[in-house]
Structure 1
Amino acid sequence: MTHAFSRRNFCLCCIAATTFSATGWLTPREVFAKTGGIVDMIKDSAAKAPISIHKLRGNVSVLEGSGGNIAVLNGADGKILVDAGIGVSRVQVKAALARLGPQPISTLINTHWHFDHADGNEWLHGEGAHIIAHKNTRTHLSSTQRVEDWSFDFPPSPAGAIPGEVMEKSHTLSVNGDTLTLEYYGPAHTDGDISVRFAEADILHTGDTYWNGVYPFVDYSTGGSIDGMIMAAKKNIEASTDKTIIVPGHGPISNRAQMIESFDMLSAIRDKVASLKNKGLSLDEVVAAQPTAAFDNKWGQFVIDPAFFTRLTYVGV
């Protein structure tokens, strides 16, 4: 099964291509300095972006186009959503959900707190969604959060956007003829990431613990770490089989083999950067050594460029 996903739905992808022109790829911090607001740019783009529907297996579909990938399980118990996208996409997302059937929205699961996955919480709650997330996600949504690499302060979310139910290690839902298992592996992309497995459909939504085809972002500002990303990748692999459909937080629908390739890439780069750092090399010296070079043609061609991913890795080893 193949799905023609564009790269529009990557976390930092809605930035105009001209931002990455003559001087090469810029880090999110550099983009912010040049544009005056990377988050505002992403939201402006999301307000106009169309939403594509990709039907996977059983009654599970994915909506692409509003921030992170949104999974939807439809049925008599209502629509169960994994992630909420960006709030300014409300009109497009609501229309896409209506195309899946007349069932009301009943439950929303946040894989983590970032705005491209949880900014739609408030309007979805207004439509009837009961929101579930990890306890750390609720903490982040309830107070001001600064993401240093985006040079942005996120204000506390409105009351309706705050998850009404939280979990710590695992949680199970039996809805619409499927069993959803929510698992927390520990700090990874942030300190509140969870994966969601649809047992009967054999589909795994990884949230941002897996980015398919590009270097991932690691948010150290709210508890993420490169070692945590690698551990989460290992856990995602263990939770899947060769038949499992993988829904990454960003990027095309995937499979276990591609997830293993991502794990191998993360592990290899982490070890190379750690070795150089342990030899006493500074951050700039490690970046200049190009420890990601063997992987850049495949993984380094988008927003998180090789130099920036090297910096993210260096911080955590």
Structure 2
Amino acid sequence: MPATATHRQRIPVLKGLFTFLAAAFLSLHELPAQRDWDQVQITAEQVTDSLYVLFGAGGNIGLALGDDYAYIIDDQFAELTGKILETVSGITDKPVRFVVNTHWHGDHVGGNENLANQGAILVAHENVRKRMGMRVDRGERGVSEPAPYAALSRITFNDELTLHLSPRRSMHLMHVDPAHTDGDTYIYFPGENAIHMGDNFVNGYPYIDQSSGGDIDGLLRNLNMALFIVDDDTRIIPGHGPVMGRPELLEFRDMVATIRNRVRAARNSGKSLEEVQAMNLTAEWDASKGQGFIGPARIVQFAYETAD
């Protein structure tokens, strides 16, 4: 039956209502209060003699053991701080003295305030502190309100910073180009031949947070930089996913580069975003990389909107 004028008038309204409800559902679904924290288990894996990775809900946590203190890289959500510290205490009796953030997203910095209140010193790039201290509209991800002062880093840096774990061991904090966000930091352990790359390296399609200065070209530069740092024996802690090595990093870089180049070429030929998304330019990776947080349409959008 042909649509009447009244029906045609209702369609945009219904579409708008559906979009609003979907966004509201997404925002509610992402609130930490909606998770069943009792079901989250924090597990640990030894990466080197003095470096561990902790898995739970949110970004991977690095745990580095110095002569006197324990150093944590990222801290997931506030509701998990007790479980995280319990897991740490099962590995070492050294107090957690420093917490380093790879970037500002809540699944990586949610425990900052709790750990600071227990005596830890928070360390991050200056853009991490800036983003956490302001109201950020992240589009479909909702609005992030300013974090309390206690959750903000007390030590910030511009380009790089070295923390000395012992007379012969150190961890190097390196601010990299805007990629996932504009505060992304690599944490490199030359003595252990290990690196924590934060969300510049994940086991799915990468998230380019454009509301935080994210850029796919910056991501490619950072991945190329990492490939010069690591060798075939380097242990790489990604922001999400299992500990990996140089072959997986190389494969990830090649995937990102190929998608970026394909999308850029299609865009520059005059195609709209919707037309490029319909071209299945990511088909060979969709089954293995596109079933999680970022799907094929989103990674194409990131490349379409941020590739130079």
Q: Secondary structure at the match of 2:219?
A: helix
Relative to 1, partners in 2 of residues 1:47 and 1:89: Cα closer, same or farther, differing over 3 Å? farther
Q: Which amino acid aligns with 1:174?
A: H
Q: Is residue 154 of structure 1 aligned with residue 144 of structure 2?
A: yes
Which residue of 60, 66, 75 maps to 2:57? 66
Instruction: Map 1:232-247; keep pairs closer than 5 Å.
Output: 232-247=222-237
Contact preservation (8 Å) 1:211, 1:248: yes
Alpha-carbon offset, residue 136 of structure 1: 0.5
Alpha-carbon offset, residue 41 of structure 1: 5.5
Contact preservation (8 Å) 1:283, 1:311: yes
Q: Which amino acid aligns with 1:38?
A: H
Q: Is residue 83 of structure 1 aligned with residue 45 of structure 2?
A: no
Q: Which amino acid aligns with 1:140?
A: R
Which residue of 210, 230, 250 maps to 1:260? 250
Structure 2 unaligned runs (5+)?
A: 1-19
Q: Measure, in 2, the Cα distance between the counterparts of 1:31 and 1:64.
A: 29
Contact preservation (8 Å) 2:61, 2:76: yes
Which residue of 133, 139, 151 maps to 1:142? 133
Q: Measure, in 1, the Cα distance between the counterparts of 2:218 and 2:27.
A: 31
Q: Secondary structure at the match of 2:81?
A: helix
Name the residue aligned to 2:159.
Answer: 169
Q: Measure, in 2, the Cα distance between the counterparts of 1:121 and 1:65.
A: 16
User: CA RMSD for the aligned pairs?
Assistant: 1.7
Alpha-carbon offset, residue 46 of structure 1: 4.5
Structure 1 unaligned runs (5+)?
A: 1-28
Greater RCO (Cα-Cα under 8 Å, separation 6 or more): 1
Relative to 1, partners in 2 of residues 1:178 and 1:46: Cα closer, same or farther, differing over 3 Å? farther
Which residue of 31, 40, 45 maps to 1:49? 40
With the length of structure 2 as denominator, give the TM-score of the two structures. 0.89
Name the residue aligned to 1:269.
Answer: 259
Q: Which amino acid aligns with 1:101?
A: T
Q: Which amino acid aligns with 1:210?
A: F
Which residue of 286, 295, 304 maps to 1:305? 295
Alpha-carbon offset, residue 301 of structure 1: 2.2
Contact preservation (8 Å) 1:47, 1:89: no
Q: Secondary structure at the match of 1:37?
A: helix
Q: Secondary structure at the match of 1:195?
A: strand
Deviations 1:40-71, CA, capped at 9 Å, x for gaps? 15862456311011111011111100310000
Q: Which amino acid aligns with 2:156?
A: V
Q: Secondary structure at the match of 2:62?
A: strand
Which residue of 77, 85, 88 maps to 1:94? 85
Which residue of 87, 92, 100 maps to 1:109? 100
Relative to 1, partners in 2 of residues 1:30 and 1:261: Cα closer, same or farther, differing over 3 Å? farther
Which residue of 130, 155, 176 maps to 1:185? 176
Contact preservation (8 Å) 1:46, 1:65: no
Deviations 1:22-45, CA, capped at 9 Å, x for gaps? xxxxxxx99644455232158624
Q: Measure, in 1, the Cα distance between the counterparts of 2:33 and 2:242.
A: 19
Which residue of 109, 124, 148 maps to 1:118? 109
Deviations 1:78-104, CA, capped at 9 Å, x for gaps? 110111111111221121111112211
Name the residue aligned to 1:133.
Answer: 124
With the length of structure 1 as denominator, give the TM-score of the two structures. 0.86
Of the structure 1 ranges 176-185 and 193-202, higher mean CA displacement relative to structure 2 is found in: 176-185
Q: Which amino acid aligns with 2:149?
A: A
Q: Measure, in 1, the Cα distance between the counterparts of 2:177 and 2:170.
A: 22
Q: How many residues align?
A: 287
Alpha-carbon offset, residue 308 of structure 1: 1.7
Q: Which amino acid aligns with 1:71?
A: G
Q: Which amino acid aligns with 1:262?
A: F
Q: Measure, in 1, the Cα distance between the counterparts of 2:223 and 2:29.
A: 28
Name the residue aligned to 1:204.
Answer: 195
Q: Measure, in 1, the Cα distance between the counterparts of 2:121 and 2:274.
A: 47
Q: Secondary structure at the match of 1:250?
A: coil
Relative to 1, partners in 2 of residues 1:130 and 1:37: Cα closer, same or farther, differing over 3 Å? same
Relative to 1, partners in 2 of residues 1:229 and 1:101: Cα closer, same or farther, differing over 3 Å? same
Q: Secondary structure at the match of 1:88?
A: helix
